[in-house]
Amino acid sequence: MRIHPILTCVTATMIFTAAQAQSIAPPTGTKSLAATLNVYAFPGAGQASTQQAQDESDCYKWAEQETGNDPFQLDKQAAQQQQQAAQQAQQAQQATAGAGAKGALGGAAGGAAIGAIAGDAGKGAAIGAGVGLLANRARTQSKAQQSQQQAQQSQAAAKATTAQITDFKKAFSACLEAKKYTVKF
């Protein structure tokens, strides 16, 4: 009885696949280094999870040396920059809230004093209130422009950080691909 070569090949493939399925370790419940970076690495050459962990660590170090970036440090810096920007925006908002009314009130008081000297405190108060309101409005606009500039600087810093992290992920992925992993990020 002669066995057909295709049947032999299919049977051998099924046995090999079954043997591989039994040797794959179940997930440990912890994220790999690649997964933490939102990089998906599939062991294309059947690497064990311990080997993959070692390869990811080696590639992390290599990518860090190549790019000069550590994504975990960059994330910390970005979080700090965002927090500072939020605090500055809040401070600017608090400083400008009610500034017009304060300026009008201060101007009115000053105008009333000057008007009293000139003989018409009411007219002086009205003029002083207008001048105080305008002066404070100009200061408020200046502070608003500063806040806007700070927000733009924060956005530029965030974009730069994102670009640095992307460069790191490219280097990290290239290293893993050289070690026979299929990688997507």
Asked if the structure places residue 114 within a domain, the reply is: yes
Over 90: is that where the pLDDT of 113 sits? no
- For the stretch 126-156, pLDDT in tens is 666 666 666 666 666 777 777 788 778 888 8
Asked if the structure places residue 124 within a domain, the reply is: yes
Asked if the structure places residue 144 within a domain, the reply is: yes
Asked if the structure places residue 176 within a domain, the reply is: no
The pTM score is 0.59
Asked if the structure places residue 104 within a domain, the reply is: yes
- Under the banding of pLDDT at 50, 70 and 90, the label for residue 28 is low
Asked if the structure places residue 72 within a domain, the reply is: no
Q: Which domain holds residue 158?
A: 83-166
Of the candidates 154, 135, 138, the residue with the CA atom closest to the CA atom of residue 88: 154
Number of folded domains in the chain? Answer: 1
Terminal-to-terminal C-alpha distance of the chain: 53
Asked if the structure places residue 120 within a domain, the reply is: yes
Asked if the structure places residue 152 within a domain, the reply is: yes
